[in-house]
Structure 1
Amino acid sequence: MQTKLAGLLLAHAPLAGLIVNRAHWDTLPQGSAQPSIVMYVISGVTDYTYAGASGYAMTRVQFDCRGTTAASARAVAEALNDRLSGFRGEFGGFAFLGCFAQGQRTRFDKVDATSWFTDSRDFTIHWRLA
């Protein structure tokens, strides 16, 4: 699901126009340009029946939208929200049954001479193999 979700985001022209191909899972490669998105799986639940896994899963994902200014981080977060909020459809062999915004927070970080702004968005992604 992770690779397909990243592909779903990058297939959205307004978002890709901002981040190009900088949508990464778990870590941002050192020296990466901004703006970008770093994604984290916060939790995941697989649905079961008496016969075993049903194929349905729900995954909570945190999207850290980063930029060199608060405005650039917010622009990425808004483009992400436009793509995912309420999205239903198939992409790359996965059925995204519903994507729902669950939270938002902002922060500023600085390490040595490097600083960045982050607008984090949490989404619950309901999905199954198509």
Structure 2
Amino acid sequence: MESALIAELLAAPSVKAKVVKRINWVRRPQGEALPAIVLHVIDRTPDVHHGGASGVVQARVQVDCWAASYAAAKSLARAVETALTARAFSRGAVRFDVILSIAERDDSFEEAGKPVFRTSLDLMVHHAAAS
């Protein structure tokens, strides 16, 4: 799911134009240019019913959209939502049944003496192996 999610984001012209290839899991490399995206799996729950595991997994993914301005962080977050949410698609060996945006928050930090802004999206990602 991890590499497929990055590939889908980079396939979206509105995302790629902003971040080029600056999408990473877990942490942003020190000194990396902005804007950038950092992804985190918060939790992952396999779907199980009376017949056993269905193969579908529900994962909550935090998407941190980093930028040098608040407006740029919000713009990147909107581009991510447009690229991923409320649709079904397959990317490589992964089938995404639906991705829903369930929460959003903003904050800012100092980095090398300059402000850095972050809009974080929580996405509920329903995925399985593509058939």
User: Is the TM value for this pair above 0.5?
Assistant: yes
Structure 1 distance, partners of 2:91, 2:3, is 11
Structure 1 distance, partners of 2:112, 2:32, is 16
Aligned to 1:10: 10
In structure 2, give the amino acid aligned to 1:16. Answer: K
Task: Name the SS for the 2:83 alignment partner.
Answer: helix
Structure 2 distance, partners of 1:19, 1:85, is 19
Structure 1 distance, partners of 2:63, 2:129, is 22
Q: How high is the TM-score relative to the length of structure 1?
A: 0.94
Q: Calculate the aligned-residue CA RMSD, in Å.
A: 1.3
- Residue 13 of structure 1 deviates from its aligned partner by 0.9
Structure 2 distance, partners of 1:75, 1:37, is 12
Task: Name the SS for the 1:34 alignment partner.
Answer: coil
- Residue 111 of structure 1 deviates from its aligned partner by 3.9
In structure 2, give the amino acid aligned to 1:101. Answer: S
Structure 2 distance, partners of 1:90, 1:73, is 27
Structure 2 distance, partners of 1:87, 1:20, is 23
Give the count of matched residue pairs: 130
- Residue 50 of structure 1 deviates from its aligned partner by 5.3
Contiguous gaps of at least 5 residues in structure 1: none
Aligned to 2:116: 116
Q: Deviations over 1:19-50 (max 9, x none)?
A: 10011100001110000011111111012345
Structure 2 distance, partners of 1:38, 1:117, is 13
Structure 2 distance, partners of 1:50, 1:121, is 33
Say which is worse superposed, 87-96 or 101-110, in terms of deviation: 87-96
Task: Name the SS for the 2:108 alignment partner.
Answer: strand
Instruction: Please list every run of at least 4 consecutive aligned residues from structure 1 whose deviation after the TM superposition is greater than 6 angstroms.
Output: none
In structure 2, give the amino acid aligned to 1:54. Answer: S
